Amino acid sequence: MKLLVYSTKKFELPFLEKANGNRHKVTYIADALDSETAIQAVGYKVISIFSGDDASSIVLEKLWELGVRYITLRSSGHNNINIKTAKRYGFRVANSPDYSPYAIAEHAVGLLLAFNRKIILADKQVRTYNFLQHNLMGFDIHGKTVGIIGTGRIGSVMVKIMHGFGCKIIATDLEEDNDLIELCGVTYVPLEELCSQSDIISIHIPLTYDNHQLINRNKLELMKRNVILINTARGAIVDTKELIKALEKNTIGGYCTDVYEKEKGSFFLDNSKNGLKDKQLKKLLSFSNVLLTPHQAFVTKEALANIAEVMISTITNWEKGLLCKNELGLELIDS
């Protein structure tokens, strides 16, 4: 099949080419999918998109008119595509759900350790030959209460890692995981209770209509004054405006994140020459108790290899007329 890959990153190209092995005719472009770049899909039956691409209803309409019939997502999250609209038109859509929960959970822990032990600041200091420690104090993670929002594939890995640190784990989810309760002593509590009791809170849920800005002013006001909030899920799960207010008032200890509410136009780009236009993002970056990375949690060799393999195998199955276990919207009825 002819495949057009949008938002191709240089570092993922070798993994994509290896997984394909000349099975499909592939064109790679750096452009993100939106209403203007959709025209580049002329002549392609299948496209692959990334989490920052726009597959809204308007874009899907254009893609359908251009002859596109299959869409693969090189991500687990799929909030950037209107699944109901896609199924109404007749698109086949699939994501990459299990590429590496370890990559995301380990990055969350990395953010926590770097923030708590002031590792980035310490590195900057010693490179100027300043070996003082007076502003590098952190705290023992051992014995702290860690709240995990979402104990699915990624959240369960995070639970096990923090259990290894000797933490008390509390969690909230739509379904309780009995294995985590038995093996890691997890206690499931309502979200409000998790917010008020946790020293560290880590978010591991997909972005949906129901949990958009789930961490809002009310939830932030419940949190401990020194709490560390970690987000490696989706930026829009946290209300950024209210988060900034909490940071300004010093009512939370810090925010560690790999994602941002409005990444389009800033993330996945080198803005070092022209600067940022997003004033809210600039404000967020102005706080010394904010640690932000550029949506890089998935960037491990294992994760990239798995994403590529899932994408190619999905397309191959579609070419054979088969269904895929990672296909989205199968429960929806076309109208």
pLDDT in tens, 129-155: 999 999 999 999 999 999 999 999 999
| pLDDT score at 292 | 98
* pLDDT given at position 161: 98
CA distance 144 to 140: 8
* Two tokens, residue 72: 């693969």
pLDDT in tens, 44-80: 999 999 988 999 999 999 999 999 999 999 988 888 8
What gap in Å lies between CA 71 and CA 270, rounded to an integer?
Answer: 27
Amino acid, res. 127 = R
Closest CA to 148 of 99, 205, 104, 103: 205
Burial of 168 per CB tally in 10 Å (0-12, 13-18, 19+): middle
Which pLDDT belongs to residue 334?
Answer: 35
pLDDT exceeds 50 at position 250: yes
Sign of the torsion angle spanned by Cα atoms 106, 266, 68, 78: positive
pLDDT in tens, 194-230: 999 999 999 999 998 899 999 999 999 999 999 999 9
pLDDT of residue 331: 52
**Selecting from 3.40.50.360, 3.30.70.2740, 3.40.50.720, 3.40.50.2300, what CATH number does the domain 2-99+300-328 have?**
3.40.50.720
Domains 2-99+300-328 and 101-292 share a fold: yes
- Helix intervals (H) in 169-300: 178-184, 191-197, 217-222, 240-248, 279-285
Catalytic residue positions, numbered? 234, 263, 295
Largest Cα–Cα distance of the chain, in whole Å?
67
**Burial classification of residue 295, based on how many CB atoms lie within 10 Å of its CB (0-12 exposed, 13-18 middle, 19 or more buried):** buried
Indicate the pairing of strand 200-203 with strand 187-188.
Answer: unpaired
3-state secondary structure of 24: coil
Q: pLDDT tier at 335 (50, 70, 90 boundaries)?
A: very low
Strands 92-94 and 327-328: antiparallel
pLDDT over 70 at 28, yes or no: yes
User: pLDDT tens digit string along 271-326?
Assistant: 999 999 999 999 999 999 999 999 999 999 999 999 999 999 999 999 999 888 88
Is 333's pLDDT higher than 90?
A: no
pLDDT above 90 for 170: yes
pTM of the model: 0.91
Domains of the chain, residue spans: 2-99+300-328, 101-292
pLDDT tens for 95-139 read 988 888 999 999 999 999 999 999 999 999 999 999 999 999 999
Q: Which CATH number fits domain 101-292: 3.20.20.80, 3.40.50.720, 1.10.3260.10, 3.40.1500.10?
A: 3.40.50.720
Task: Tell me whether strands 92-94 and 145-149 are parallel, antiparallel or unpaired.
Answer: unpaired
Q: Is the pLDDT of residue 270 over 80?
A: yes
Can you tell me the mean pLDDT for 30-36?
94
